[in-house]
Structure 1
Amino acid sequence: MTHLERFHDVPVLVCAAEGAAIGGERDALDLIGDAGYQGARWVVVPAERFADDFFQLRTRVAGHVVQKFAQYGVGLVVLGDISRHLEASSALEDFVRESNGGRQLWFLRDREQLAERLRG
């Protein structure tokens, strides 16, 4: 289940916490299609919706998912607590830090942080 919201006039497709796991490119394409249909520039997915493989960089799932979003010009936000994944991987910590410095993929704690990022 998804719905469109606006944060500072930026259209954002927000996914519900309940639902199938996001585990690969096909899932990414489904979200991108929904975003395009609704006119969203960003897709927000709760962290718990991602399969654990997404957070294990050696699997390359995150890379494939993010690449699809980049190809279609849609930003992706992983929203929520990913601390257990960060504790298990310094490489993931680096990936998150680097991603949060860009304009394609953000790992954010909550909706307030998202609103702040989209403000500017």
Structure 2
Amino acid sequence: MTIQSHEINTIKIAEIISDTIIIQSAQDGLDLMGDIYYQGFDKVILYEKNMTPEFFDLKTKMMGEILQKFSNYRIGLAIVGDFSKYESKSMKDFIFESNRMRHVSFVASVEDALKNFSQ
């Protein structure tokens, strides 16, 4: 895992780059958030491919637990991926509401994530 640093208007953004799954449990998400926070980053960009498929199963509550922690600690999060494959109404509604609230966003590209963080 490597961290690509971006900065927009003094906001430090960590883009997490990895060839493997780095979020396999809620604890992994919390550990990553803590690591990023203590390195002085304000926002995080993660890739869908680096998260276990269970993360995107709302029944596991993993997504909710992790995203709630990011929200509580006011660390912005963007998840980059192709979310059109998630066909459940619940997941589509969750993504829509998250994007509307803007603290956690589901985007198609790093450029979209950076754009969201700059607003």
Tell me the CA shift for residue 83 of structure 1: 2.2
Which residue is equivalent to 1:58?
A: 59
Task: Give the counterpart letter for 2:62 in structure 1.
Answer: V
Identity of aligned residues (%): 31
**Contact 2:2 / 2:18 at 8 angstroms: preserved in 1?**
no
Question: Aligned residue for 2:25?
Answer: 24
User: Which residue in 2 is equivalent to 1:76?
Assistant: 77
Work out whether residues 21 and 49 of structure 2, in 8 Å CA contact, stay in contact via their aligned partners in 1: no
Who is 1:2 aligned against?
2
Match in the other structure for 1:41: 42
SS in structure 2 at match of 1:70: helix
Cα distance between partner residues in 1 of 2:23 and 2:69: 13
Deviations 1:54-108 (A, max 9, x none): 1111111111111221222212211121222x22x11100000000011321101
What is the alpha-carbon distance in structure 2 between the residues aligned to residue 10 and residue 55 of structure 1? 28
Q: TM-score, normalised by structure 2?
A: 0.87
Q: Which runs of 4+ in 1 moved over 4 A?
A: none
Q: How many residues align?
A: 118
CA–CA distance in 1 between the matches of 2:116 and 2:81? Answer: 15
Say whether residues 1:109 and 2:108 are aligned partners: yes
Unaligned runs of 5+ in 1: none
Q: What is the CA distance between 1:8 and its match in structure 2? A: 4.2
Partners in 2 of 1:7 and 1:22 — Cα distance? Answer: 26
Aligned 8 A contact 1:24 1:65 in 2: no
Provide the alpha-carbon RMSD of the alignment: 1.6
Whole-Å Cα distance in 2 between the matches of residues 21 and 63 of structure 1? 17
Task: Say whether the 8 Å CA contact 2:45–2:113 is kept in structure 1.
Answer: no
Q: Deviations over 1:21-79 (max 9, x none)?
A: 31222111221122112211111110111111111111111111112212222122111
